[in-house]
Amino acid sequence: MSLDPDTLMGPLWTLLAFVGLGWLAARRLAVDPRPIATLLIYLIAPLTFFRGLILGGPTPAYLLITASLFAAACLVALLVSAVARRALPGEEGAVLAFSAGTGNTGYFGLPVALVLLPPEGVTLYLFGVLGVTLYEFTLGFYLSARGRFSVRDSLAKILRLPLIYAFLAALLVEGADLEVPNAVMEGLEVFPPAYTLLGMMIIGMTLGRVSIRQFDWRFIGACVAVRYVFWPLLALGAVLALQATTGLSPALATALLLIGVVPMAANVVVVAMELGMAPEKGALAVLLTTLAAPLLIPFYLGWMLPLISG
């Protein structure tokens, strides 16, 4: 299986257009991105997450994928956090640790998954994405907060995050075999596109306030190395190991590889903005990895897919 770089140009230009709108909003309209970050974290993300779980119809097998990706994201983030604390200032190290456990699996990865995978493979991919998203708003948020706040304050901030309760509510609805009214589900349809639009616009709003002095090659290089070197090798190693031991399906193998090669997550900027921690440097790193994605994703998948299919 091969992936033409042109396949990624549609998602790329759409995302960059949203970034450009955010830049214009910050530069010309003086829009403050901080309230938008709060809105994303405390309202739009939880409702998007709840809707995705309900539509996916979580089963034990699907939830095992979610739990596995959550665990993998947490382990990578903890490893990078231990290293970053020694090499980078507190806030930058915290942002790097958060970014290490996540990627742009939704805004960028989903359109690619729709091209690469059959419908059942897309479902598997989405439940993997849910695990990464759950990491972002639990341990990931905690690691970010620890760059500025105490352990107690960081834990208190996590307990106030509604996405955790949205996850539990979705499991309760499915476990009790309750039916969410169609009118409610139709109303929730507006939240995923709003999540994508505002998430990418925040990058542009943040870049609108960046000066050349904030271009930190050491921080950006570390972000790129984790996202485009460590994660692809980890994904490939995990897939090969699982194929050798459990007989991983081709669709799930491809979904896991895709999660490993997407660019940095826009939520790196959203969380950094909410906590007031180096959002400008995070925005530069996210933008650079997104621009590189149309070249690097076909390269990685073109190299790895024959390995797992042979």
| Cβ atoms of residues 279 and 133 within 8 Å | no
Crossing angle (nearest 10°) for helices 119-136 and 109-116: 160
Which distant-in-sequence residues (6+ apart) come within 8 Å of 147 by Cβ? Answer: 90, 91, 92, 93, 94, 95, 275, 277
Q: Kindly tell me if the per-residue pLDDT of 266 is higher than 60.
A: yes
> Could you give the CA distance from residue 244 to residue 239 in angstroms, rounded to a whole number?
9
Closest CA to 130 of 248, 189, 48: 48
Residue 288, both tokens: 């650079």
Banded pLDDT at 133 (limits 50, 70, 90):
confident
Tell me the C-alpha distance between 51 and 126, whole Å: 12
Residue 40 has pLDDT above 70, yes or no: yes
87, 226 in Cβ contact below 8 A?
no
pLDDT of 153-202, one tens digit each?
888 888 888 888 988 898 899 888 888 999 999 999 999 888 888 888 88
pLDDT at 279: 77
The two tokens of residue 186 are 């139709």
Q: Report the percent of the chain where pLDDT is more than 90.
A: 28
- pLDDT tens digits for range 232-261: 999 999 999 999 888 888 999 999 999 999
Tokens in use for 152? 């107690």
Q: Is 32 left (phi over 0), alpha (psi -120 to 50) or beta?
A: beta
